[in-house]
Structure 1
Amino acid sequence: MALGKQAKLLTKQQMDAFYLSLELTRNPSRNRLIFLLSVKAGLRAKEIAGLTWGMVLSASGDLEDNISLENTASKGNSGRLIPINKQLRLELASQLNAIRSKATLHELRDRRIVRTQRRIQTTPQVIVNMFKGWYKKAGLMGCSSHSGRRTFITNAAKKISTVGGSLRDVQWLAGHSSLQTTQRYIDGESDARRKVVDLV
Protein backbone atom coordinates (compact mmCIF):
# COMPACT_ATOMS: atom_id res chain seq x y z
CA MET A 1 0.00 0.00 0.00
CA ALA A 2 1.28 3.47 -0.86
CA LEU A 3 1.71 5.28 2.41
CA GLY A 4 1.33 8.76 0.91
CA LYS A 5 -2.44 8.47 1.31
CA GLN A 6 -3.02 6.22 4.27
CA ALA A 7 -6.22 4.36 5.03
CA LYS A 8 -8.32 5.90 7.76
CA LEU A 9 -8.09 4.46 11.27
CA LEU A 10 -11.14 3.01 13.01
CA THR A 11 -12.13 4.06 16.52
CA LYS A 12 -13.31 1.49 19.06
CA GLN A 13 -16.89 2.73 18.62
CA GLN A 14 -16.64 2.47 14.83
CA MET A 15 -15.22 -1.05 15.05
CA ASP A 16 -18.00 -2.23 17.36
CA ALA A 17 -20.75 -0.64 15.26
CA PHE A 18 -19.27 -1.93 12.01
CA TYR A 19 -18.93 -5.46 13.40
CA LEU A 20 -22.62 -5.45 14.34
CA SER A 21 -23.61 -4.04 10.94
CA LEU A 22 -22.12 -7.09 9.21
CA GLU A 23 -25.00 -9.11 10.68
CA LEU A 24 -27.16 -7.53 7.95
CA THR A 25 -24.92 -8.72 5.10
CA ARG A 26 -25.51 -11.80 2.95
CA ASN A 27 -22.95 -14.01 4.72
CA PRO A 28 -22.57 -12.48 8.21
CA SER A 29 -20.39 -15.14 9.84
CA ARG A 30 -17.86 -15.16 7.00
CA ASN A 31 -17.88 -11.37 6.76
CA ARG A 32 -17.35 -10.91 10.50
CA LEU A 33 -14.38 -13.26 10.25
CA ILE A 34 -12.89 -11.28 7.35
CA PHE A 35 -13.20 -8.06 9.36
CA LEU A 36 -11.61 -9.59 12.47
CA LEU A 37 -8.71 -11.03 10.47
CA SER A 38 -8.04 -7.45 9.39
CA VAL A 39 -8.58 -5.54 12.63
CA LYS A 40 -7.56 -8.17 15.22
CA ALA A 41 -4.73 -9.93 13.35
CA GLY A 42 -3.56 -7.13 11.05
CA LEU A 43 -3.76 -9.24 7.90
CA ARG A 44 -3.54 -7.74 4.43
CA ALA A 45 -6.24 -8.49 1.83
CA LYS A 46 -3.81 -10.91 0.13
CA GLU A 47 -3.22 -12.72 3.41
CA ILE A 48 -6.92 -12.99 4.24
CA ALA A 49 -7.57 -14.46 0.79
CA GLY A 50 -4.67 -16.92 1.08
CA LEU A 51 -5.27 -18.13 4.63
CA THR A 52 -5.95 -21.87 4.91
CA TRP A 53 -7.27 -23.92 7.82
CA GLY A 54 -3.91 -25.65 8.01
CA MET A 55 -2.40 -22.35 9.16
CA VAL A 56 -4.62 -22.23 12.26
CA LEU A 57 -5.11 -25.93 13.13
CA SER A 58 -2.97 -28.30 15.18
CA ALA A 59 -2.07 -31.83 14.05
CA SER A 60 -5.17 -33.12 15.85
CA GLY A 61 -7.46 -30.57 14.17
CA ASP A 62 -7.90 -28.18 17.09
CA LEU A 63 -7.46 -24.43 16.81
CA GLU A 64 -3.90 -23.36 17.57
CA ASP A 65 -2.97 -20.35 19.70
CA ASN A 66 -1.34 -18.67 16.70
CA ILE A 67 -1.93 -18.10 13.02
CA SER A 68 1.07 -19.66 11.26
CA LEU A 69 0.97 -17.38 8.24
CA GLU A 70 3.07 -18.97 5.52
CA ASN A 71 5.07 -17.06 2.92
CA THR A 72 2.77 -18.42 0.22
CA ALA A 73 -0.09 -16.38 1.70
CA SER A 74 1.87 -13.30 2.72
CA LYS A 75 3.42 -10.35 0.91
CA GLY A 76 6.95 -11.25 -0.14
CA ASN A 77 8.55 -13.34 2.58
CA SER A 78 6.59 -11.82 5.46
CA GLY A 79 5.20 -15.07 6.84
CA ARG A 80 4.90 -14.95 10.61
CA LEU A 81 3.26 -16.25 13.78
CA ILE A 82 0.35 -14.09 14.96
CA PRO A 83 -1.30 -14.86 18.31
CA ILE A 84 -5.04 -15.35 17.84
CA ASN A 85 -7.16 -12.67 19.51
CA LYS A 86 -9.98 -14.00 21.75
CA GLN A 87 -12.80 -12.52 19.63
CA LEU A 88 -11.20 -13.81 16.44
CA ARG A 89 -10.80 -17.25 18.00
CA LEU A 90 -14.54 -17.47 18.73
CA GLU A 91 -15.36 -16.57 15.12
CA LEU A 92 -12.85 -19.09 13.76
CA ALA A 93 -14.27 -21.79 16.05
CA SER A 94 -17.79 -21.03 14.84
CA GLN A 95 -16.72 -21.34 11.19
CA LEU A 96 -14.76 -24.51 11.91
CA ASN A 97 -17.70 -26.19 13.66
CA ALA A 98 -19.92 -25.39 10.68
CA ILE A 99 -17.67 -27.18 8.18
CA ARG A 100 -15.83 -29.83 10.21
CA SER A 101 -18.27 -32.63 9.32
CA LYS A 102 -18.08 -31.82 5.60
CA ALA A 103 -14.39 -32.61 5.09
CA THR A 104 -11.61 -34.82 6.42
CA LEU A 105 -8.84 -33.16 8.43
CA HIS A 106 -6.48 -33.67 5.49
CA GLU A 107 -8.92 -31.96 3.11
CA LEU A 108 -9.59 -29.22 5.63
CA ARG A 109 -5.92 -28.28 5.96
CA ASP A 110 -5.65 -27.16 2.33
CA ARG A 111 -9.03 -25.46 2.32
CA ARG A 112 -9.15 -21.68 2.22
CA ILE A 113 -10.82 -20.17 5.27
CA VAL A 114 -12.52 -17.44 3.23
CA ARG A 115 -14.64 -18.69 0.33
CA THR A 116 -17.36 -17.21 -1.82
CA GLN A 117 -20.65 -18.85 -2.71
CA ARG A 118 -19.41 -19.69 -6.21
CA ARG A 119 -15.72 -20.43 -5.60
CA ILE A 120 -13.67 -22.50 -3.17
CA GLN A 121 -11.26 -19.61 -2.80
CA THR A 122 -11.26 -15.87 -3.25
CA THR A 123 -8.82 -13.25 -4.49
CA PRO A 124 -7.26 -10.24 -2.77
CA GLN A 125 -9.24 -7.94 -5.06
CA VAL A 126 -12.51 -9.51 -3.97
CA ILE A 127 -11.55 -8.84 -0.33
CA VAL A 128 -10.66 -5.23 -1.23
CA ASN A 129 -14.01 -4.79 -2.98
CA MET A 130 -15.92 -6.30 -0.05
CA PHE A 131 -14.40 -3.82 2.39
CA LYS A 132 -15.02 -0.94 0.00
CA GLY A 133 -18.71 -1.81 -0.25
CA TRP A 134 -19.15 -2.42 3.47
CA TYR A 135 -17.43 0.79 4.55
CA LYS A 136 -19.31 2.84 1.97
CA LYS A 137 -22.64 1.45 3.18
CA ALA A 138 -21.62 2.18 6.79
CA GLY A 139 -20.72 5.77 5.90
CA LEU A 140 -17.07 5.30 6.88
CA MET A 141 -15.49 7.48 4.23
CA GLY A 142 -11.75 7.15 3.71
CA CYS A 143 -11.72 3.58 5.01
CA SER A 144 -10.41 0.70 2.91
CA SER A 145 -9.30 -2.91 3.27
CA HIS A 146 -6.14 -1.54 4.89
CA SER A 147 -7.98 0.37 7.63
CA GLY A 148 -8.30 -2.66 9.89
CA ARG A 149 -4.62 -3.53 9.44
CA ARG A 150 -3.49 0.03 10.15
CA THR A 151 -5.80 0.21 13.18
CA PHE A 152 -4.35 -3.08 14.47
CA ILE A 153 -0.77 -1.86 14.07
CA THR A 154 -1.49 1.51 15.71
CA ASN A 155 -3.35 -0.04 18.65
CA ALA A 156 -0.62 -2.65 19.13
CA ALA A 157 2.05 0.07 19.12
CA LYS A 158 0.18 2.09 21.75
CA LYS A 159 -0.23 -0.90 24.07
CA ILE A 160 2.90 -2.99 23.51
CA SER A 161 4.90 -1.31 26.29
CA THR A 162 2.22 -2.25 28.84
CA VAL A 163 3.07 -5.94 28.32
CA GLY A 164 6.84 -5.43 28.28
CA GLY A 165 7.24 -5.36 24.51
CA SER A 166 8.67 -2.87 22.04
CA LEU A 167 8.02 -1.54 18.57
CA ARG A 168 10.12 -4.43 17.25
CA ASP A 169 7.36 -6.79 18.40
CA VAL A 170 4.80 -4.73 16.50
CA GLN A 171 7.06 -4.86 13.43
CA TRP A 172 7.05 -8.67 13.71
CA LEU A 173 3.26 -8.85 14.06
CA ALA A 174 2.85 -6.60 11.03
CA GLY A 175 5.29 -8.60 8.91
CA HIS A 176 7.32 -5.53 7.98
CA SER A 177 10.93 -5.95 6.89
CA SER A 178 11.88 -2.57 8.37
CA LEU A 179 10.93 -0.69 11.52
CA GLN A 180 10.55 2.48 9.47
CA THR A 181 7.63 0.96 7.56
CA THR A 182 5.90 0.07 10.82
CA GLN A 183 6.43 3.59 12.14
CA ARG A 184 4.80 5.09 9.05
CA TYR A 185 1.66 3.01 9.67
CA ILE A 186 1.24 4.27 13.22
CA ASP A 187 -1.03 7.20 13.92
CA GLY A 188 0.58 9.37 16.59
CA GLU A 189 -1.12 11.72 19.02
CA SER A 190 0.29 15.09 20.04
CA ASP A 191 -1.35 14.75 23.47
CA ALA A 192 0.52 11.49 24.09
CA ARG A 193 3.78 13.10 23.03
CA ARG A 194 3.22 15.92 25.52
CA LYS A 195 2.50 13.48 28.35
CA VAL A 196 5.40 11.12 27.69
CA VAL A 197 8.08 13.78 28.15
CA ASP A 198 7.04 14.08 31.79
CA LEU A 199 7.51 10.34 32.25
CA VAL A 200 11.11 10.14 31.04
Structure 2
Amino acid sequence: MPKSLAAANEAWLDWLKSERRLAAHTLVAYEHDVAHFLGFMSGYLGEPPTLASLAELKPAEFRAWLAERTRQGLARSSTARALSSVRSFFRFLDKNRLAHNASIGVLQTPRLPHSVPKALSEADMDELLETGSEQEREPWIDKRDTAVLLVLYGAGLRIGEALGLTKAMVESLLKSRLDTLAVTGKGRKTRIVPLLPQTLEALAAYRDACPYLSALDGSHAFFLGARGGPLDPAIVQKRVREIRRQLGLPDSVTPHALRHSFATHLLGAGGDLRTIQELLGHASLSTTQRYTDVDTARLNAVYRAAHPRAKGR
Protein backbone atom coordinates (compact mmCIF):
# COMPACT_ATOMS: atom_id res chain seq x y z
CA MET A 1 0.00 0.00 0.00
CA PRO A 2 1.12 3.62 -0.58
CA LYS A 3 3.08 5.34 2.15
CA SER A 4 2.57 9.00 1.13
CA LEU A 5 -0.65 10.98 1.50
CA ALA A 6 -0.75 11.81 -2.21
CA ALA A 7 -0.40 8.14 -3.16
CA ALA A 8 -3.04 7.15 -0.60
CA ASN A 9 -5.40 9.73 -2.06
CA GLU A 10 -4.89 8.32 -5.55
CA ALA A 11 -5.42 4.77 -4.28
CA TRP A 12 -8.67 5.83 -2.58
CA LEU A 13 -9.97 7.47 -5.76
CA ASP A 14 -9.04 4.38 -7.77
CA TRP A 15 -10.89 2.21 -5.24
CA LEU A 16 -13.97 4.40 -5.49
CA LYS A 17 -13.90 4.10 -9.26
CA SER A 18 -13.03 0.42 -9.68
CA GLU A 19 -14.55 -1.19 -6.58
CA ARG A 20 -17.40 1.12 -5.55
CA ARG A 21 -18.05 2.03 -9.20
CA LEU A 22 -19.25 5.50 -8.31
CA ALA A 23 -20.76 7.62 -11.04
CA ALA A 24 -18.33 10.08 -12.63
CA HIS A 25 -20.24 13.04 -11.16
CA THR A 26 -20.05 11.57 -7.66
CA LEU A 27 -16.37 10.67 -8.02
CA VAL A 28 -15.51 14.26 -8.95
CA ALA A 29 -17.49 15.53 -5.94
CA TYR A 30 -15.66 13.17 -3.54
CA GLU A 31 -12.28 14.18 -4.97
CA HIS A 32 -13.12 17.89 -4.69
CA ASP A 33 -14.41 17.52 -1.11
CA VAL A 34 -11.25 15.80 0.14
CA ALA A 35 -9.00 18.23 -1.77
CA HIS A 36 -10.80 21.13 -0.05
CA PHE A 37 -10.34 19.45 3.34
CA LEU A 38 -6.62 18.79 2.79
CA GLY A 39 -6.12 22.32 1.48
CA PHE A 40 -7.73 23.75 4.60
CA MET A 41 -5.58 21.56 6.84
CA SER A 42 -2.43 22.76 5.08
CA GLY A 43 -3.20 26.31 6.17
CA TYR A 44 -4.53 25.33 9.59
CA LEU A 45 -1.52 23.17 10.49
CA GLY A 46 0.98 25.49 8.87
CA GLU A 47 2.35 22.78 6.61
CA PRO A 48 1.04 20.18 4.13
CA PRO A 49 -0.62 17.32 6.06
CA THR A 50 0.85 13.82 6.09
CA LEU A 51 -0.67 10.45 6.91
CA ALA A 52 0.82 10.77 10.38
CA SER A 53 -0.62 14.25 10.98
CA LEU A 54 -4.07 13.17 9.75
CA ALA A 55 -4.03 10.41 12.35
CA GLU A 56 -3.34 13.05 15.03
CA LEU A 57 -6.23 15.38 14.16
CA LYS A 58 -8.59 16.16 17.03
CA PRO A 59 -12.36 16.86 16.82
CA ALA A 60 -11.67 20.60 17.20
CA GLU A 61 -9.60 20.60 14.02
CA PHE A 62 -12.30 18.84 12.02
CA ARG A 63 -14.83 21.33 13.42
CA ALA A 64 -12.60 24.21 12.36
CA TRP A 65 -12.86 22.93 8.77
CA LEU A 66 -16.65 22.68 9.05
CA ALA A 67 -16.78 26.20 10.51
CA GLU A 68 -14.73 27.52 7.59
CA ARG A 69 -17.22 26.04 5.13
CA THR A 70 -20.02 27.82 7.02
CA ARG A 71 -18.04 31.09 6.91
CA GLN A 72 -17.72 30.68 3.14
CA GLY A 73 -21.50 30.42 2.86
CA LEU A 74 -21.53 26.85 1.56
CA ALA A 75 -24.87 25.06 1.83
CA ARG A 76 -25.38 22.63 4.70
CA SER A 77 -26.30 19.90 2.25
CA SER A 78 -22.97 20.48 0.49
CA THR A 79 -21.07 20.34 3.79
CA ALA A 80 -22.89 17.16 4.81
CA ARG A 81 -21.80 15.53 1.57
CA ALA A 82 -18.24 16.82 2.04
CA LEU A 83 -18.09 15.32 5.53
CA SER A 84 -19.32 12.03 4.09
CA SER A 85 -16.52 12.16 1.50
CA VAL A 86 -13.87 12.83 4.15
CA ARG A 87 -15.25 10.03 6.32
CA SER A 88 -14.97 7.69 3.33
CA PHE A 89 -11.33 8.71 2.87
CA PHE A 90 -10.49 8.13 6.54
CA ARG A 91 -12.27 4.73 6.50
CA PHE A 92 -10.11 3.78 3.52
CA LEU A 93 -6.96 4.88 5.36
CA ASP A 94 -8.01 2.95 8.47
CA LYS A 95 -8.97 -0.20 6.57
CA ASN A 96 -5.60 -0.25 4.81
CA ARG A 97 -3.70 0.53 8.03
CA LEU A 98 -2.37 3.81 6.68
CA ALA A 99 -3.83 6.07 9.36
CA HIS A 100 -6.32 5.61 12.19
CA ASN A 101 -8.31 8.53 13.56
CA ALA A 102 -11.24 8.02 15.92
CA SER A 103 -12.01 11.74 16.23
CA ILE A 104 -13.91 11.96 12.96
CA GLY A 105 -16.41 9.47 14.33
CA VAL A 106 -17.68 11.93 16.95
CA LEU A 107 -18.65 14.59 14.41
CA GLN A 108 -22.33 15.07 13.68
CA THR A 109 -23.56 15.53 10.13
CA PRO A 110 -24.89 19.10 9.66
CA ARG A 111 -28.67 19.23 9.65
CA LEU A 112 -30.98 21.70 7.99
CA PRO A 113 -32.05 24.28 10.60
CA HIS A 114 -35.77 24.05 9.86
CA SER A 115 -38.28 21.70 8.36
CA VAL A 116 -38.63 21.82 4.61
CA PRO A 117 -41.40 20.74 2.24
CA LYS A 118 -41.56 17.01 1.56
CA ALA A 119 -40.61 17.57 -2.06
CA LEU A 120 -36.87 17.80 -2.68
CA SER A 121 -35.33 20.56 -4.74
CA GLU A 122 -34.12 19.56 -8.19
CA ALA A 123 -30.52 19.97 -7.01
CA ASP A 124 -31.11 17.72 -3.99
CA MET A 125 -32.77 15.14 -6.25
CA ASP A 126 -29.70 15.14 -8.52
CA GLU A 127 -27.43 14.55 -5.52
CA LEU A 128 -29.70 11.86 -4.09
CA LEU A 129 -29.67 9.92 -7.36
CA GLU A 130 -25.88 10.25 -7.69
CA THR A 131 -24.94 9.37 -4.10
CA GLY A 132 -23.14 6.04 -3.78
CA SER A 133 -23.47 3.69 -0.85
CA GLU A 134 -21.05 4.09 2.05
CA GLN A 135 -20.96 0.31 2.43
CA GLU A 136 -19.11 -2.15 0.24
CA ARG A 137 -21.76 -4.01 -1.75
CA GLU A 138 -22.16 -6.10 -4.87
CA PRO A 139 -22.20 -3.77 -7.92
CA TRP A 140 -25.55 -5.17 -9.07
CA ILE A 141 -27.18 -4.00 -5.83
CA ASP A 142 -26.08 -0.42 -6.52
CA LYS A 143 -27.56 -0.73 -10.02
CA ARG A 144 -30.79 -2.07 -8.52
CA ASP A 145 -31.11 0.83 -6.09
CA THR A 146 -30.44 3.35 -8.84
CA ALA A 147 -33.17 1.76 -10.97
CA VAL A 148 -35.67 1.73 -8.09
CA LEU A 149 -35.06 5.39 -7.22
CA LEU A 150 -35.35 6.44 -10.85
CA VAL A 151 -38.67 4.60 -11.18
CA LEU A 152 -40.00 6.34 -8.07
CA TYR A 153 -38.89 9.82 -9.14
CA GLY A 154 -38.85 9.51 -12.94
CA ALA A 155 -42.30 7.90 -13.21
CA GLY A 156 -43.93 8.98 -9.94
CA LEU A 157 -44.71 5.41 -8.84
CA ARG A 158 -45.64 4.42 -5.31
CA ILE A 159 -43.08 2.10 -3.75
CA GLY A 160 -45.55 -0.79 -3.84
CA GLU A 161 -46.17 -0.19 -7.55
CA ALA A 162 -42.44 -0.13 -8.30
CA LEU A 163 -41.71 -3.32 -6.36
CA GLY A 164 -44.80 -4.92 -7.91
CA LEU A 165 -43.26 -4.82 -11.39
CA THR A 166 -42.66 -8.33 -12.70
CA LYS A 167 -39.79 -9.64 -14.75
CA ALA A 168 -42.13 -10.18 -17.71
CA MET A 169 -43.44 -6.61 -17.59
CA VAL A 170 -39.99 -5.05 -17.67
CA GLU A 171 -38.55 -7.54 -20.16
CA SER A 172 -41.42 -6.79 -22.53
CA LEU A 173 -40.85 -3.08 -22.05
CA LEU A 174 -37.13 -3.28 -22.79
CA LYS A 175 -37.51 -5.71 -25.68
CA SER A 176 -40.12 -3.60 -27.46
CA ARG A 177 -38.23 -0.38 -26.67
CA LEU A 178 -41.40 1.26 -25.44
CA ASP A 179 -41.15 4.37 -23.30
CA THR A 180 -44.44 3.93 -21.45
CA LEU A 181 -45.50 1.50 -18.76
CA ALA A 182 -48.96 0.30 -17.70
CA VAL A 183 -49.19 0.42 -13.91
CA THR A 184 -52.04 -0.90 -11.77
CA GLY A 185 -52.39 1.20 -8.64
CA LYS A 186 -54.91 1.79 -5.88
CA GLY A 187 -58.43 0.62 -6.59
CA ARG A 188 -57.00 -1.67 -9.27
CA LYS A 189 -56.96 1.30 -11.63
CA THR A 190 -54.48 1.03 -14.50
CA ARG A 191 -52.70 4.10 -15.80
CA ILE A 192 -50.01 4.70 -18.41
CA VAL A 193 -46.84 6.42 -17.24
CA PRO A 194 -43.95 7.59 -19.45
CA LEU A 195 -40.41 6.46 -18.71
CA LEU A 196 -37.32 8.58 -19.20
CA PRO A 197 -34.42 7.18 -21.26
CA GLN A 198 -32.27 7.25 -18.10
CA THR A 199 -34.84 5.09 -16.32
CA LEU A 200 -34.90 2.55 -19.13
CA GLU A 201 -31.10 2.45 -19.17
CA ALA A 202 -31.02 1.90 -15.40
CA LEU A 203 -33.57 -0.92 -15.63
CA ALA A 204 -31.54 -2.63 -18.36
CA ALA A 205 -28.26 -2.17 -16.46
CA TYR A 206 -29.74 -3.75 -13.33
CA ARG A 207 -31.32 -6.62 -15.31
CA ASP A 208 -28.03 -7.45 -17.01
CA ALA A 209 -26.05 -7.31 -13.76
CA CYS A 210 -28.43 -9.17 -11.43
CA PRO A 211 -27.20 -12.75 -10.90
CA TYR A 212 -30.66 -14.17 -10.11
CA LEU A 213 -33.08 -12.78 -12.71
CA SER A 214 -32.15 -15.03 -15.64
CA ALA A 215 -33.23 -18.17 -13.74
CA LEU A 216 -36.65 -16.80 -12.74
CA ASP A 217 -39.92 -17.00 -14.65
CA GLY A 218 -41.74 -13.94 -15.89
CA SER A 219 -44.22 -13.78 -13.02
CA HIS A 220 -41.47 -13.21 -10.47
CA ALA A 221 -40.73 -9.76 -9.04
CA PHE A 222 -38.26 -7.79 -11.13
CA PHE A 223 -36.55 -6.09 -8.21
CA LEU A 224 -34.76 -8.63 -6.03
CA GLY A 225 -33.10 -8.65 -2.63
CA ALA A 226 -29.50 -9.66 -1.95
CA ARG A 227 -30.45 -13.35 -1.73
CA GLY A 228 -32.70 -13.43 -4.77
CA GLY A 229 -36.13 -13.02 -3.19
CA PRO A 230 -38.52 -10.13 -3.90
CA LEU A 231 -37.09 -6.83 -2.71
CA ASP A 232 -38.53 -5.73 0.64
CA PRO A 233 -39.77 -2.10 0.82
CA ALA A 234 -37.81 -1.76 4.07
CA ILE A 235 -34.56 -2.13 2.10
CA VAL A 236 -35.50 0.79 -0.14
CA GLN A 237 -36.51 2.83 2.89
CA LYS A 238 -33.19 2.01 4.56
CA ARG A 239 -31.26 3.09 1.46
CA VAL A 240 -33.08 6.43 1.34
CA ARG A 241 -32.37 6.96 5.07
CA GLU A 242 -28.69 6.32 4.39
CA ILE A 243 -28.61 8.89 1.58
CA ARG A 244 -30.62 11.31 3.72
CA ARG A 245 -27.99 11.08 6.45
CA GLN A 246 -25.10 11.45 4.00
CA LEU A 247 -26.57 14.62 2.46
CA GLY A 248 -27.98 16.11 5.67
CA LEU A 249 -31.54 16.06 4.32
CA PRO A 250 -34.60 16.22 6.61
CA ASP A 251 -36.45 13.18 7.92
CA SER A 252 -39.32 13.94 5.53
CA VAL A 253 -37.17 12.58 2.67
CA THR A 254 -38.60 9.08 2.17
CA PRO A 255 -39.23 6.90 -0.90
CA HIS A 256 -42.69 8.47 -1.10
CA ALA A 257 -41.09 11.92 -1.18
CA LEU A 258 -39.58 11.01 -4.55
CA ARG A 259 -43.08 10.57 -5.96
CA HIS A 260 -44.06 13.85 -4.34
CA SER A 261 -41.01 15.52 -5.92
CA PHE A 262 -41.98 14.10 -9.32
CA ALA A 263 -45.36 15.83 -9.11
CA THR A 264 -44.03 19.09 -7.68
CA HIS A 265 -41.27 19.42 -10.28
CA LEU A 266 -43.73 18.77 -13.11
CA LEU A 267 -46.06 21.43 -11.75
CA GLY A 268 -43.18 23.88 -11.32
CA ALA A 269 -42.14 23.32 -14.95
CA GLY A 270 -45.61 24.20 -16.21
CA GLY A 271 -47.40 20.86 -16.10
CA ASP A 272 -51.15 21.09 -15.58
CA LEU A 273 -52.86 19.50 -12.60
CA ARG A 274 -55.14 17.29 -14.71
CA THR A 275 -52.19 15.64 -16.46
CA ILE A 276 -50.32 15.22 -13.17
CA GLN A 277 -53.47 13.72 -11.67
CA GLU A 278 -53.51 11.07 -14.41
CA LEU A 279 -49.80 10.33 -14.03
CA LEU A 280 -50.14 9.89 -10.27
CA GLY A 281 -53.30 7.82 -10.52
CA HIS A 282 -55.34 10.04 -8.22
CA ALA A 283 -59.10 9.59 -8.36
CA SER A 284 -59.73 13.18 -7.28
CA LEU A 285 -58.08 16.38 -8.50
CA SER A 286 -58.30 17.76 -4.96
CA THR A 287 -55.92 14.98 -3.86
CA THR A 288 -53.40 16.11 -6.47
CA GLN A 289 -53.76 19.73 -5.35
CA ARG A 290 -53.01 18.79 -1.75
CA TYR A 291 -50.22 16.50 -2.87
CA THR A 292 -48.18 19.02 -4.84
CA ASP A 293 -46.25 21.97 -3.48
CA VAL A 294 -48.00 24.75 -5.36
CA ASP A 295 -45.67 27.61 -6.27
CA THR A 296 -47.98 30.45 -5.27
CA ALA A 297 -45.93 33.17 -6.94
CA ARG A 298 -45.85 31.28 -10.24
CA LEU A 299 -49.58 30.55 -10.14
CA ASN A 300 -50.30 34.20 -9.36
CA ALA A 301 -48.21 35.27 -12.36
CA VAL A 302 -50.04 32.81 -14.62
CA TYR A 303 -53.38 34.07 -13.31
CA ARG A 304 -52.53 37.71 -13.96
CA ALA A 305 -51.24 36.92 -17.43
CA ALA A 306 -54.17 34.74 -18.44
CA HIS A 307 -57.35 36.10 -16.80
CA PRO A 308 -59.28 38.45 -19.13
CA ARG A 309 -60.07 40.90 -16.32
CA ALA A 310 -56.41 41.02 -15.19
CA LYS A 311 -54.96 42.02 -18.57
CA GLY A 312 -53.87 45.61 -18.98
CA ARG A 313 -54.19 46.34 -15.26
Corresponding residue for 2:149?
35
Alignment map for 1:7-86 (pairs within 5 Å): 8-22=118-132, 24=134, 26=137, 27-58=141-172, 61-69=175-183, 71=184, 74-86=185-197
Aligned residues: 187
What is the DSSP-based 3-state SS (H/G/I as helix, E as strand, rest coil) of the residue aligned with 1:110? coil
RMSD: 2.8
Shift of 1:55: 2.3
Q: 1:60 to 1:130 in 2, by over 3 A?
A: closer
Match of 1:183 in 2: 289
C-alpha spacing 1:122/1:12, structure 2 compared with 1 (3 Å):
same
Does the 8 Å contact 1:7/1:147 carry over to 2?
Answer: no
Deviations 1:138-183 (A, max 9, x none): 211121111100000112233354xxxx422211110111111111
Does the aligned pair in 2 maintain the 1:38–1:44 contact within 8 Å? yes
Distance 2:192 2:300 in 1: 34
Aligned partner letter, 1:178? S
Q: Deviations over 1:20-58 (max 9, x none)?
A: 213555332111111111111111121122112322333
Q: Distance in 1 between matches of 2:173 and 2:143?
A: 25
Question: In structure 2, which of residues 206, 216, 222 is the aligned counterpart of residue 113 of structure 1?
Answer: 222
SS in 2 for 1:76: helix
More helix by share: 2
Does the CA-based 8 Å contact 1:34-1:48 persist in structure 2? yes
- Which structure carries more relative contact order (alpha carbon 8 Å, separation 6+)? 1
CA distance in 1, matches of 2:165, 2:294: 31
Deviates more, 1:55-64 or 1:141-150: 55-64
The one-letter code matched in structure 1 to 2:205 is: S
Contact 1:78 1:176 in 2 (8 A): no
Whole-angstrom distance in 2 between the partners of 1:48 and 1:116: 14
1:102 Cα shift?
6.0
Determine the C-alpha separation between the residues in 1 that align with 2:269 and 2:173: 33
CA distance in structure 1 between the aligned counterparts of 2:247 and 2:236, rounded to whole angstroms: 17
TM-score w.r.t. length of structure 2: 0.53
State the partner residue of 2:239. Answer: 130
1:6/1:139 CA distance change after superposition, 3 Å: closer
TM-score (norm 1): 0.79
| Distance of 2:174 and 2:245 partners within structure 1 | 41
- TM-aligned CA distance change 1:60 to 1:39, over 3 Å: closer
Larger radius of gyration: 2
Runs of 5+ unmatched residues, structure 1? none
Q: Specify every segment of 5 or more residues in structure 2 that has no aligned partner in the other structure, as ranges.
A: 1-114, 307-313
